[in-house]
Amino acid sequence: MIPEAPVASMPQLVPEIAPALALKLISETARLLFENGQTTHRVVEDVRLLGSALGYRVDVYPTWDRITVRLDNPDGDKCPESLAAPMRAEVEVTPSGVNMSKVLQTTALIDAVSLGQLAPAKAIEQLKQIEGAPSASTIRFILMAGLGAAALAVIFGVTDGLTLSLVFFSASAGAVFRKIIAHYSKSFLLQPIGAAFLAGAFGAAVQSLGIDVNLQFVEACPCMILVPGAHIINASLDLARNRLNLGIARLVYASLIVLMICLGLFLGLCVGGQTLAQAMGTQSVPIVTDVIAAGVAVAAFGAFFSMPWRILIIPVLIGMSAHAMRWSAIEMGYSAPIGVAVACFFAGLVATPLAHRLKIPFAALAFASVVSMMPGVFLFRMSSALVEIYMNAEKSAPSILPAATAEGITAMVICLAIAFGVIVPKLAIDRYFYENK
């Protein structure tokens, strides 16, 4: 696949525009891209492109809670209305969401303005419409949450229908609860802790009833679909590009969500008088079943990211191909982290040029493609062991601390394999095909 050529500085095709109006359009565009999951580097590049088309030089300074846009005269040619001094605008925004549909619409608007097909004043009105556009439909969100959680259980070797049905029901109920919480609160912590609490309480009820199912996955899989992988990838990209403050802030944000998921799960279990169930024996599923389940999991996260249906097939195909590579590597005797690294390298290699060509957030596309490899269940097992050590103190089994350490290290190594596997091809392709031309 040949990456598309980079977008060069465009000639000014739009009518002359006052600096104040240009600054408002540029700053609102930056805010909409930043808060909906576009990578920081692409936000900066897209906003500079828009400024160049309007006849101004733009500098963008993103931080966790705001974006500062600086408007100045262009180098060389005079701008439509020469500035006596640079103008600045600070827009309060946090990059806590992922909505690929809004990013697609915003980048299309940038192209239309840059080509002179859309007046800047009209563009500002369209930005308001894009901002107010709904996310994925509630029915799609709830249905795909259940299917995604059940697909993750299949990937871990769960095949009995009752376990998968309970996982589906729990995850779907959690999705409904998330929608209710979102209606009443904008806190980014309440949704994951609420949905995880519901999963824990439901799992505790199933334990108490003594239903013969694989309980650990009934409890854990509905929580695995809450893991903020896109934010982890964006954080890793920012750190790799030396945006340390923003990268660390993103990583802290993602870590807080993971902490809330673990806390909610164990609070729900504790309310029901239970702990995380011991893992029952599972078996390796055939490659066809594994790949199909991976495709369903990818489609589920596509719904969470409000990915348009016409684009959803792309990450589904990438994810299924990547998972086939992981399955093959493990069957050949390689460790799980090696299999994950190989699969994620392939996903990053394919997703990078596609994200450029389609103008969609790389982190969302890449994470949706590799979501089935996230080590959520290992994190929950580690957390369960640590809770047991805290509750029982010296009465804990001698083997529990080594077990917790092993689960934690496994989760960390797999996360590193995902991050490096996805990001290394991304940075290399960006450097040699886009940024140096």
Mean pLDDT value across residues 180-195: 91
* 2 domain-assigned: no
Let me know whether 73 and 198 are in one domain.
no
Are both 111 and 143 inside the same structural domain? no
Task: For the chain, report the end-to-end CA distance as a whole number of angstroms.
Answer: 18
Q: Please compute the mean of the pLDDT values over residues 70-97 and round it to a whole number.
A: 76
Query: In terms of Cα–Cα distance, which of 400, 277, 420 is closest to 343?
Result: 420
How many Cβ atoms from other residues are within 10 Å of residue 22's Cβ? 25
**Are 347 and 419 contained in the same domain?**
yes
Question: How far, in Å, CA of 411 to CA of 433, rounded?
Answer: 33
Q: Residue 237's closest CA among 4, 431, 66?
A: 431
- pLDDT score for 162: 94
Q: How confident is the model at residue 7 (pLDDT cuts 50, 70, 90)?
A: very low
pLDDT tens digits along 289-331: 989 998 999 899 888 888 888 888 888 999 899 989 988 888 8
In three-state secondary structure terms, 221 is: helix
Using the 3D structure, point to which of 78, 103, 131 is the last residue of a domain: 131
6, part of any domain: no
Q: Is residue 173 part of a domain?
A: yes
Sequential DSSP letters for 107-144: HHHHHHHHTTSS-HHHHHHHHHHHHT---S-HHHHHHH
Structure tokens at 375: 């080590």
In terms of domains, do 94 and 161 share one?
no
Cα separation, 212 vs 194, in Å, equals: 26
**Residue 7 belongs to a domain:** no
pLDDT of res. 284 = 75
Asked whether residue 95 falls in the same domain as residue 153, the answer is no
- Per-residue model confidence (pLDDT) at position 211: 86
* Percent of the chain topping pLDDT 70: 92
Q: Residue 70, Cβ neighbours under 10 Å: how many? A: 17
| Rounded CA separation 300/145 (Å) | 6
Residue 329 and residue 272 share a domain: yes
Could you tell me the residue range of the domain that residue 59 belongs to? 19-119+127-131
Question: Which of 131, 160, 182 is the last residue in one of the domains?
Answer: 131
Residue 55 lies in a domain: yes
- When divided into structural domains, the chain yields a total of 2
Residue 13 is assigned to a structural domain of this protein: no
Based on the fold, state whether residues 244 and 148 are members of the same structural domain.
yes
The reply to whether 175 falls in a domain is yes
DSSP per residue, 46-84? HHHHHHHHHT-EEEEEE-SSEEEEEEEPPSSSPPTT--S
Same domain, yes or no: 108 and 244: no
Residue 435 has pLDDT above 60, yes or no: yes
Angstrom distance (rounded) from CA 428 to CA 149: 33
Looking at the structure, tell me whether residues 285 and 357 fall in a common domain: yes
Residues 429/5, Cβ–Cβ less than 8 Å = no
CA atoms in the 13 A half-sphere facing the CB of 242: 0
Mean pLDDT computed over every residue of the chain: 86
What pLDDT is stored for residue 31 in this prediction? 95
| CA 434 – CA 355 distance, rounded (Å) | 12
Residue for token digits 């945006």?
243
Same domain, 206 and 326: yes
- Looking at the fold, whether 101 and 250 belong to one and the same domain comes out as no
Q: Which of 79-88, 99-108, 244-253 has the lowest mean pLDDT?
A: 79-88
Task: State the pLDDT at residue 2.
Answer: 37
86 located within any domain: yes
Boundary of a domain, candidates 101, 131, 161: 131
144-162 average pLDDT score? 91
pLDDT confidence bin for 16, thresholds 50/70/90:
low
pLDDT the model gives residue 358: 80
For residues 76 and 226, which has the higher predicted lDDT (pLDDT)? 226
pLDDT at 72: 87
In terms of domains, do 113 and 160 share one? no
Token pair in block for residue 434: 């886009």
What is the model's pLDDT at position 6?
A: 44
Distances in whole angstroms, Cα of residue 148 to Cα of each of 152, 297, 304, 351: 6, 4, 10, 21
